[in-house]
Amino acid sequence: MNKDIFKLEPQAVWKNFYSLTQIPRPSKHEEKIRQFMVDFGHKLGLETTMDHVGNVIIRKPATPGMESRQGVILQGHLDMVPQKNSDKAHDFLKDPIEAFIDAEWVTANGTTLGADNGMGVAAAMAILESKDIAHGPIEGLFTADEETGMTGAFGITPGILKGDILLNMDSEDEGELYVGCAGGTDANIKLPTKKEAVPAGHVGFKVVIKGLKGGHSGLEIILGRGNANKMMNRWMKQAVKMGMRLGSIDGGSLRNAIPRESFAVVTIPNANAEKLIESVTQFETTFKDEFKAVEPDLSFKIEQAHLPENVIDVESTKKLVNAIYGCPNGVMRMSDSVPGLVETSTNLARVKSEERYILLQCLLRSSVDSAKASLGEMVSSVFELAGADVELTGTYPGWKPNMDSPILKTMQDVYQKLYGKVPATMAIHAGLECGLLGGVYPNWDMISFGPTIRYPHSPDEKVNIASVDKFWKFLIATLKAIPVK
């Protein structure tokens, strides 16, 4: 950890962010960060509770003279996406994030940084512990498990929160105010398989695709980056014709991250070994040509390996390869109403062989519920034809924009006074918790904003230092300008 991070402005935010980097907090393993936040609230002498799903709520009374203002909920999520480069030794359950300053950015050493959503949480903490910032009644809402299912937002109950305005601080472009987001659905797929003995005369190989940029499957799906699962399968489609047998496969790691790597152990008749090696070299050349503008570090390699204990039966392998080939992936449709916004997309995030089946996962997103449902049927149809079991789960709604929002007008005015221009008003092709939270509290006026973060959900994640300072000053000025009830 670069200690110079403590010297960055605003120090009130950066010191809290440093504290968050020292606490392991991958999704589904948030016990330590939840306890840390509860202790944080109690040390400040503030009313602090944790609900039945692990959301932490900290309440702070209004500062003198601000008691009549509308209540504000400062909201961020506690978990982070655990992604690392394959050559990085890091245990997300035990090790702190190694953050450091890189020119105009703060980034991490070979892992995700956790600025998503650590920056929003750190800013809320700074407001809660401040003694010289004017604000009305404040509630810090720190939600659980946003990245792998929005469990915290799904579990929020009516009446537990008293505020009128939700400021979600989980957006990633400073100078933009977000008033809408896509909804999502998880497609969980199991393709039954059988194991067989490795055929006589076969030799073993390990095939690896790596070096892809990956990234957030909502924000960066529009960039046309390579999908390691689709690329590996494209090669496998040809390799099967040479007699290739699949021992195991492991591609991607998280449902909401574009897969950066894929690893397969295969066998091939010894007579075709050189042909298999040549095919990998040829596909690497093809992939590098096709993706040269977006994947400069792409690597597709093969090396001889020990024979696996067994291989997947021929019929299951063919079904798998054909289904993945036919599975939609990437941008499906652009928005008619918001120029440049992705309306509907899907990400083939995970392909992993288990003992009796192949597990696959896709995350489907759309700002149009009917399009999302139709895409779910499309993915289901492809894999059901292959004999797989498909379950569509975790469906969450989008957030419909309200261009007449009073807090939108307030924040536009505040930003213009601070920085001399009106911030852009946007919708986002990613899942924000606003849609779920607004369903429970339909009276809330909601905005999402934040500092500039690039490459979230990947080891290239970084946050722009100057944007954090602008975001912080904007937050302070917004709280001062909150209207009376």
Angle at the Cα of 294 (from 288 to 298), degrees rounded to 5? Answer: 40
How many Cβ atoms are within 10 Å of 374's Cβ, its own excluded?
14
**Tokens linked to 5:** 């991070």
Of 30, 129, 146, 164, the catalytic one is 146
Distance from the Cα of residue 116 to its chain's centroid = 8
Strand partners, 463: 106, 453
**Tokens linked to 436:** 């779920």
pLDDT in tens, 275-288: 999 999 999 999 99
| Contact (CB, 8 A) for 330 and 379 | no
- Distance between CA atoms of residues 74 and 125, nearest Å: 9
- Distance between CA atoms of residues 344 and 354, nearest Å: 30
Write the CATH number of the domain with boundaries 3-182+398-481.
Answer: 3.40.630.10
From the list 254, 1, 223, the residue with the least C-alpha distance to 107 is 1
Q: Taking the CA atoms of the chain, what radius of gyration do you get in angstroms?
A: 24
Label residues 31-42 b or e (16+ Cβ within 10 Å = b): eebbebbbebbe
Sequence ranges of the chain with CATH classification 3.30.70.360: 185-396
Sign of CA dihedral 35, 40, 42, 43: positive
pTM of the model: 0.81
How many Cβ atoms are within 10 Å of 369's Cβ, its own excluded?
13
- Distance between CA atoms of residues 301 and 219, nearest Å: 29
How many Cβ atoms are within 10 Å of 285's Cβ, its own excluded?
11
Backbone dihedral angles phi then psi of residue 273, each to the nearest 5 degrees: -60, -45
Distance from the Cα of residue 463 to its chain's centroid = 15
- Distance between CA atoms of residues 257 and 1, nearest Å: 25
How many Cβ atoms are within 10 Å of 442's Cβ, its own excluded?
8
- The answer to whether residue 146 is catalytic is yes
pLDDT, position 254:
87
**Which overall architecture, per CATH, does domain 185-396 show?**
2-Layer Sandwich (3.30)
**Tokens linked to 335:** 């928005």
pLDDT, position 2:
63
Sequence ranges of the chain with CATH classification 3.40.630.10: 3-182+398-481
In tens digits, the chain (485 residues) has pLDDT values of: 466 898 999 999 999 999 999 999 999 999 999 999 999 999 999 999 999 999 999 999 999 999 999 999 999 999 999 999 988 999 999 999 999 999 999 999 999 999 999 999 999 999 999 999 999 999 999 999 999 889 999 999 999 999 999 999 999 999 999 999 999 999 999 999 999 999 999 999 999 999 999 999 999 999 999 999 999 999 999 999 999 999 999 999 889 999 999 999 999 999 999 999 999 999 999 999 999 999 999 999 999 999 999 999 999 999 999 999 999 999 999 998 788 999 999 999 999 999 999 999 999 999 999 999 999 999 999 999 999 999 999 898 889 888 899 999 999 999 999 999 999 999 999 889 999 999 999 999 999 999 999 999 999 999 999 999 999 999 999 999 999 99
**Tokens linked to 349:** 């995030």
pLDDT, position 37:
98
**Tokens linked to 411:** 């924040």
